[in-house]
Amino acid sequence: MRYRDIQLDENGRLRHFLSIEGLKRQMLMDILDYAENFITVGGRSIKKVPLLRGHTVTNLFFEPSTRTRTTFELAAKRLSADVLNININTSATTKGESLLDMLRNLEAMHCDMFVVRHAQSGAAHFIARHVAPHIRVINAGDGSHAHPTQAMLDMFTIRRHKGEFADLRVAVVGDILHSRVARSQIHALTTLGVHEVRVIGPETLLPQRVEELGVHVYHHLPAGLEGVDVIIMLRLQRERMQGALIPSEREYFELYGLTEEKLAFAKPDVIVMHPGPINRGVEISSEVADGPRSVILEQVSNGIAIRMAIMSMIMGNRFGSEEEEQ
């Protein structure tokens, strides 16, 4: 119990944003509601609100990323924060010692928020536990553990298309074993109370006892897609062939690639999501990725609004849009 709720302050408000697990349904709904306020900001000629004026946000990326880093940067800038991007070659800083030293240095530069991506599960928790008390930490992806802002933007996208969560059947397809996105999505979906969450993949890409996360396991794509409202495709890392987890991309696509044909097993109004970047012809065909059921690009724009909402909330801004004027 020692480390429970490290992301909440003593009043139960968000201090850090590290994982979906441990957050209550109402908290997730508040984030989604709050994010609605920021959707319009991106469409205006002046795309800024002054909520984080005078604050410094540091993007601390120990792993390469283009989209996530860019959307965080845009989100921070649209909140009028100063943004510092630090990309660190992981091989140069494998020691925790230098990681902590780096944090101390950044603290000395009076940063207010760290947005952290790291190849190790638990890295964001580790950083949150060791930063000065006034500093806020957002997890932008840690190892195979969590990617909570991605999950929230996915929930946001689902809600915009489907309204209520309660009756939905959602399928998450592919490499669940290594996916931080999948873990966060599963926690978000079960917390928001969807009717059913399914994971679909070969046994080699499913973690042990994954059903304890509250999901149903399917090994065959057509059966798993039967009657679902939302399909979330996961990226297949090319290096998975080396671990003897799948034989080839060709065979993977044959079994788990999402094609128009497979899509027909789902509900007619199904939406297709993907956290990106897409491997066309590996986990998804171009016809589906670019087709009418795909909301993949919408996910990206929603990512900015969600990240603005979360950054703003953990810096102590609460609900209402009264401050939202330029």
Partner 1 sequence: MKIRIHGGRLIDPASGLDEIGTLCVADGRIVAAGESPEPFTADREIDASGLVVCPGLVDLQARLREPGQEHKGTIESETAAAAAGGITTLCCPPDTDPVTDTPAVANLIQELARRAGNTRVLPIGAMTPGLRGEQICEMFILSQSGCVAFSNAERAIVNTEVLRRAMEYAATHDLTLFLRPQDPWLSANGCAHEGAVSTRLGLRGIPGFAETMEVARLLTLAEQTGARIHLGPLSTARAIQMIGRAQYDGLPVSASVSAHHLHLTELDINDFDSRAYLRPPLRTQRDREGLHRGLVRGVIGAICSDHQPHDIDAKLAPFAESEPGATAVETLLPLSLRLADHGVLSLSEVIAALTWRPARILGIPAGTLSPGAAADICIFNPERYWTVAPETLVSQGHNTPLMGWELKGRVTHTLLEGRLVYQLKG
Per CB under 8 A, residues contacting partner 1 are: 1-4, 6, 21, 94-97, 99-100, 118, 120-123, 125-126, 130, 142-146, 180, 183, 207-210, 212-213
C-alpha distances in angstroms, 297 versus 109, 128, 186, 292?
36, 31, 21, 12
Geometric angle at alpha carbon 211, from 209 and 215, rounded to 5°: 155
Q: What Rg value do the Cα atoms of the chain yield, rounded?
A: 19
Shortest spacing between CB 178 and partner 1, in angstroms: 8
Three-state SS sequence of 254-276: HHHCECHHHHCCCCCCCEEECCC
C-alpha distances in angstroms, 141 versus 52, 123, 134, 144, 312?
23, 9, 22, 8, 19
Shortest spacing between CB 180 and partner 1, in angstroms: 6
Q: Which of residues 73 and 142 has its CB atom nearest to partner 1 in the complex?
A: 142
Q: Which of residues 175 and 229 has its CB atom nearest to partner 1 in the complex?
A: 175
Q: Which of residues 172 and 309 has its CB atom nearest to partner 1 in the complex?
A: 172
What number of residues does the chain have? 326
Q: Which of residues 100 and 241 has its CB atom nearest to partner 1 in the complex?
A: 100
Q: Which of residues 66 and 208 has its CB atom nearest to partner 1 in the complex?
A: 208
Q: With the C-alpha atoms ordered 250, 253, 254, 260, is the resulting torsion angle positive or negative?
A: negative
Shortest spacing between CB 11 and partner 1, in angstroms: 20
Q: Name the 3-class secondary structure at 310.
A: helix
Shortest spacing between CB 205 and partner 1, in angstroms: 13
Q: Which of residues 2 and 108 has its CB atom nearest to partner 1 in the complex?
A: 2
Cα dihedral value 221, 223, 224, 229, nearest 10: 110
Shortest spacing between CB 182 and partner 1, in angstroms: 10
DSSP state of 309: H
CA distance 144 to 121: 6
Shortest spacing between CB 326 and partner 1, in angstroms: 40
Closest-CA residue to 48 (of 70, 74, 85, 67): 74
Residues 142 and 150: beta-carbon distance below 8 Å: no
Q: Which of residues 3 and 166 has its CB atom nearest to partner 1 in the complex?
A: 3
Shortest spacing between CB 200 and partner 1, in angstroms: 16
C-alpha distances in angstroms, 269 versus 140, 162, 289, 295?
31, 9, 15, 12
Q: Which of residues 209 and 322 has its CB atom nearest to partner 1 in the complex?
A: 209
Shortest spacing between CB 185 and partner 1, in angstroms: 13
Alpha helices in 91-138 (DSSP H): 96-108, 123-130
CA distance 266 to 224: 9
CB atoms within 10 A of CB 32: 22
Q: Which of residues 94 and 326 has its CB atom nearest to partner 1 in the complex?
A: 94
Shortest spacing between CB 100 and partner 1, in angstroms: 6
